[in-house]
C-alpha cells in the first residue's frame, strides 16, 4: 500500500498523500494546497497510481486555483489590521463610514433598519436580525469599497427577504449587478 505518490507535473514534484479507507470509489481532494487521494482498501498500488496520473490535469488546475486564493489572502491579511491596533479615532471613523454607507443604500433601496453595529467576527461579514439590527465585520472597512458595499446591500436586502431565495438575489442584483463576482472575491478573503 502506498502512503504517498510523487506526481511529476511540468518538472515539479507534487506529493500526493494516499489515504486508504472503506469507501468504494477512488477520490481526490485538495485542501490548503495539499493533495490527498482517497483509495478503497482493496485497490492495487498500480491502480491507485494510475488513477492519480490520469487526474494530473485536475490536480494541476486545483493547485493553481489554490495558489490564486492564497495570494488573495496574503494581500488581504496585509491590509486588515488587528482590532487591538486601531486607535479610538480609527474605530470612530470605521463606525461613521458604515453608518453613512448603510444610510445611503437604505434610502436608495427604500428599506428601513434599526441599529448598525460593527464587530470583530470570525465567521461572518454581516448579518441582519428580524428586528432590523445590522451587524458588520470591521474588516470590511479595509477591503475594497465594492466588497463592503456588497455586504451592506446584501444585509439590507434581507429587510425585504429574510432568506436567500431567488427573489432575494434578484433584489441584490438590482443594486449590485456584479454581486456574483464580488461574492467570489469576498470568499477568497480570510477572516
Ligand atoms: Zn444573507
pLDDT digit string (tens) for 67-126? Answer: 888 887 777 666 788 888 899 999 999 999 999 999 999 999 999 999 999 999 888 999
pLDDT at 47: 94
Burial of 48 (0-12, 13-18, 19+ CB in 10 A): buried
Residue-level pLDDT at 122: 84
Out of 3.40.50.720, 3.30.2010.10, 3.40.50.620, 3.30.70.890, select the CATH number for domain 83-187.
3.30.2010.10
Cell of 175: 443594486
Distance 159 CA to ligand 1 centre (A): 10
Contacts of 130 (CB under 8 A, 6+ apart): 162
Q: Tell me where in the chain the CATH 3.30.2010.10 domain(s) lie.
A: 83-187
Report how far ligand 1's centroid is from the alpha carbon of 127 (Å): 7
pLDDT of residue 95: 97
Mean pLDDT value across residues 161-172: 97
pLDDT (0 to 100) of residue 150: 98
* Least confident span in 6-15, 109-118, 165-174, 179-188: 6-15
Output the CA 158–ligand 1 centroid distance in Å: 7
Distance 123 CA to ligand 1 centre (A): 13
Q: Roughly what angle, to the nearest 10 degrees, separates helices 179-187 and 145-157?
A: 110
Q: What b-and-e string marks burial along 140-166, b requiring 16 or more CB atoms within 10 Å of the CB? A: bbebeeebbbbbbbbbbbbbeeeeeee
**How much is the pTM?**
0.63
* 51-66: pLDDT as tens digits: 999 999 999 999 999 9
Mean residue pLDDT of the chain comes to 93
Ligand 1 midpoint to CA 126 (Å)? 8
Centre of ligand 1 from the C-alpha of residue 164, in Å:
6
CA of 180 to the centre of ligand 1 (A): 13
Q: How far is the CA of 169 from the centre of ligand 1 (A)?
A: 9
- In the reported structure, the alpha carbon of residue 176 is separated from the centroid of ligand 1 by a whole-number distance in angstroms of 14
Residue with cell 502512503: 3
Are residues 144 and 131 in contact, defined by beta-carbon separation less than 8 angstroms?
no
154 C-alpha to ligand 1 centroid (Å): 6
Amino acid at each position: 500500500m502506498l502512503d504517498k505518490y510523487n506526481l511529476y507535473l511540468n518538472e515539479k514534484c507534487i506529493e500526493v498523500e494516499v489515504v486508504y479507507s472503506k469507501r468504494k470509489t477512488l477520490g481526490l481532494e485538495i485542501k490548503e494546497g495539499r493533495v490527498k487521494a482517497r483509495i478503497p482498501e482493496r485497490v492495487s498500488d498500480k491502480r491507485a497510481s494510475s488513477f492519480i496520473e490520469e487526474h494530473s490535469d485536475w490536480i494541476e488546475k486545483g493547485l493553481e486555483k489554490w495558489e490564486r486564493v492564497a495570494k488573495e489572502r496574503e494581500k488581504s491579511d496585509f491590509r486588515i489590521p488587528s482590532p487591538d491596533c486601531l486607535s479610538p479615532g480609527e474605530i470612530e471613523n470605521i463606525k461613521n463610514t458604515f453608518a453613512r454607507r448603510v444610510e445611503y443604500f437604505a434610502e436608495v433601496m427604500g428599506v428601513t433598519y434599526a441599529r448598525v453595529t460593527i464587530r470583530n467576527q470570525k465567521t461572518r461579514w454581516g448579518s441582519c436580525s428580524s428586528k432590523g439590527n445590522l451587524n458588520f465585520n470591521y474588516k470590511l472597512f479595509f477591503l475594497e469599497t465594492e466588497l463592503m458595499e456588497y455586504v451592506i446591500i446584501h444585509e439590507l436586502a434581507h429587510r425585504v427577504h429574510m432568506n436567500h431565495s431567488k427573489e432575494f438575489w434578484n433584489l441584490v442584483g438590482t443594486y449590485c449587478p456584479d454581486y456574483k463576482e464580488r461574492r467570489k472575491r469576498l470568499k477568497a478573503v480570510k477572516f
